[in-house]
């Protein structure tokens, strides 16, 4: 399931460079990170398809608290209800919604601010 890659592609189309790397690989850097959270299976059908609630964790890291907060909020709103078709055909998109509203997160590293949101993408596989 290439949901994170589909989110990355949608953000890149808006000139936002998002990475699929781990947060700790961004030590000393600003950026946007997309990570997969454990998907939840919500239904199985007679034709063997399954409905999956896929959760993507998006972190915005910046030296400016305001910039991190504003970009995180923009991304959450941008992705709300956005169709996210599979790039490799591994799923069929059903819905996109904000799973957790943007909020500040603690970082061990000083001089950086991080805001994060979780986006739920309902798909059929």
CB atoms within 10 A of CB 116: 21
82's tokens: 């956005």
pLDDT, tens digit, for every residue of 62-80? 999 999 999 999 999 999 9
Q: Which structural domain, as residue segments, surrounds residue 13?
A: 3-124
pLDDT, tens digit, for every residue of 81-109? 999 999 999 999 999 999 999 999 987 77
Which residues of 20-112 form beta strands (DSSP E)?
Answer: 31-44, 50-62, 92-105
The torsion of the CA quartet 7, 22, 125, 51, rounded to 10 degrees, works out to: -90
pLDDT, greater one: 1 or 66: 66
CATH number assigned to the domain comprising residue 39: 3.30.2000.30
**How many independent structural domains does the chain possess?**
1
pTM to 2 decimal places: 0.87
* pLDDT in the model for residue 68: 96
* pLDDT in the model for residue 29: 84
In the block, tokens 């923009």 appear at 74
* pLDDT in the model for residue 48: 77
Distance CA 50, CA 76 (A): 26
In the block, tokens 């400016």 appear at 64
């Amino acid at each position: 399931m290439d949901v994170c890659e589909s989110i990355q592609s949608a953000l890149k189309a808006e000139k936002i460079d998002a990475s699929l790397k781990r947060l700790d690989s961004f030590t000393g850097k600003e950026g946007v990170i997309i990570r997969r959270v454990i998907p939840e299976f919500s239904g199985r059908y007679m034709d063997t398809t399954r409905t999956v609630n896929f959760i993507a964790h998006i972190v915005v890291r910046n030296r400016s608290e305001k910039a991190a907060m504003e970009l995180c909020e923009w991304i959450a709103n941008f992705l709300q209800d956005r169709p996210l078709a599979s790039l490799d055909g591994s799923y069929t998109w059903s819905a996109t919604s904000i799973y957790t509203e943007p909020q500040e997160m603690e970082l061990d590293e000083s001089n950086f601010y991080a805001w994060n949101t979780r986006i739920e993408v309902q798909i059929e596989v």
